Amino acid sequence: MSFKDGFRAPPLKRIRVGIVGIGRRGDCAVKRLIKIPDVEVTALSDVEDFRLAEGNDALANAGKPPAETYLGADSYLRLADSPNVDVVYITAPWPVHAPAAVAAMERGKHAAVEVPCAMTVEDCWRLVETAERTKRHLIPLENCCYGDEELFALNLCRSGVLGELVHGEGAYIHNLAAENFAEVDGCKYFTALRGSWDRWRLKWNAVHDGNPYPTHGLAPICKYMDVNGSDRLDYVVSVSSRQAGITAFAARQFGASSPEAMDTYRLGDVNTSIFKTAKGRTIMIQHAVSSPRPYSRINLISGTKGILSGYPLKVALLPDSDKWLQETELAELRKQYEHPFVKESWELAKKVGGHGGMDFLMDLRWTACLKNGEPMDSTVYDAATWSCLTELSEKSVAAGSIPVKVPDFIR
């Protein structure tokens, strides 16, 4: 059976997970996964030995046996060779995602990959072709598809409450200016947190424009519109503002003549990309990580019968679509269209945590699918489609915001 037809791998009664990259995302993954029955963390890989020690400390504190450890830049290859691993869970910096996932699948492992799953269109194709050839799952770890509001919106769309869908909006609006410099001496921000290893995110921002982190906003909208099912993304137009936020933050924090403030950064403060789908729908996706703006993923979906808009959550429906539902009306609608995943597991997910519970719900889902030999909620085609905006947006911006075709990864 192909991934297009709902590929099913043989059921796994016990899932042994090896985690690549034990930074903040990887450390949290260790602590979540060990709370799921029949799931074991059996291997850890990183470029810094103290992170491996912290991962095993978390296992010891939970009364779990220590994991195998692999140290070094090529450690993900040696982890993927381990006979004690069924799934390679990749939470390393962005450029490692695709190579580690390909290595895992070629060695007979399923790959669960933090987003974006690849940074180039070529690597998106490598993921697709490797998954098809090896018959291994590529699981995009897009936690925002499992937020309670996103699942409510999905149920409204699938139940026809919003009518025929015509337009969606999503975003990653999150001021990360301080986090870019978290390990710089004298930075008063994020003092309780580690910064990104080798400042990999800041280094990416220095040489790339466009939208390098599109999937938190894009993936839920694609789910609502059944992209890669009954619809597909056709082309995208992208435009970036000038870069000012990173430089302004560095000047305030370290001085206008500091190396941090004098460095060049290519990433525009705000990138806006607009997709057209094969069915004629539009999707607007924004990226803004150096502007002093409150966090938002926008999460808007509009149809012929109504609209849902996030941050804060609002819904308007015919015949009174010129005003938002009152709080009590919205509560009743949410109860009526509560998604089964939320009904079954949201209280537990909130207790375990991870972005309010969505991370744990995501892990519950993909592990349940593997245990039962069921198709994944999202496939390698979704991973490629959501991730390819990273390169496509940069190409469009560089060429004067011209339309760029989106590859048809399902062919």
pLDDT tens, the chain, 411 aa long: 678 778 999 999 999 999 999 988 999 999 999 999 999 999 999 999 999 999 999 999 999 999 999 999 999 999 999 999 999 999 999 999 999 999 999 999 999 999 999 999 999 999 999 999 999 999 999 999 999 999 999 999 999 999 999 999 999 999 998 888 876 444 444 433 455 678 899 999 999 999 999 999 999 999 999 999 999 999 999 999 999 999 999 999 999 999 999 999 999 999 999 999 999 999 999 999 999 999 999 999 999 999 999 999 999 999 999 999 999 999 999 999 999 999 999 999 999 999 999 999 999 999 999 999 999 999 999 999 999 999 999 999 999 999 999 999 999
Distance CA 167, CA 329 (A): 24
Distance of CA 388 to the CA centre of its chain: 13
pTM here?
0.96
Cα separation values, 271 from 140, 238, 296, Å: 23, 7, 14
Task: Determine the Cα angle at 379 with ends 378 and 385, to 5°.
Answer: 95
Distance CA 369, CA 341 (A): 13
Instruction: Cis check for the bond before 116: say yes or no (omega within 30 of 0).
Output: yes
Distance CA 290, CA 269 (A): 6
- The position carrying tokens 């009152």 is 326
Distance CA 44, CA 21 (A): 8
* Beta strand extents in 161-261 (DSSP E only): 165-173, 233-240
Distance CA 182, CA 366 (A): 33
Using DSSP, state whether 338 is helix, strand or coil: coil
Q: What is the CB neighbour count within 10 angstroms for residue 37?
A: 8
What residues does each domain of the chain span? Answer: 3-141, 146-339+379-405
Distance of CA 213 to the CA centre of its chain: 8
3-141: CATH, from 3.40.50.11290, 3.40.50.720, 3.40.30.10, 3.40.50.1370: 3.40.50.720
Nearest one of 288, 191, 276 to 241, comparing CA atoms = 288
The CATH fold of domain 146-339+379-405: Dihydrodipicolinate Reductase; domain 2 (3.30.360)
Q: What are phi and psi of 206, to 5 degrees?
A: -75, -25
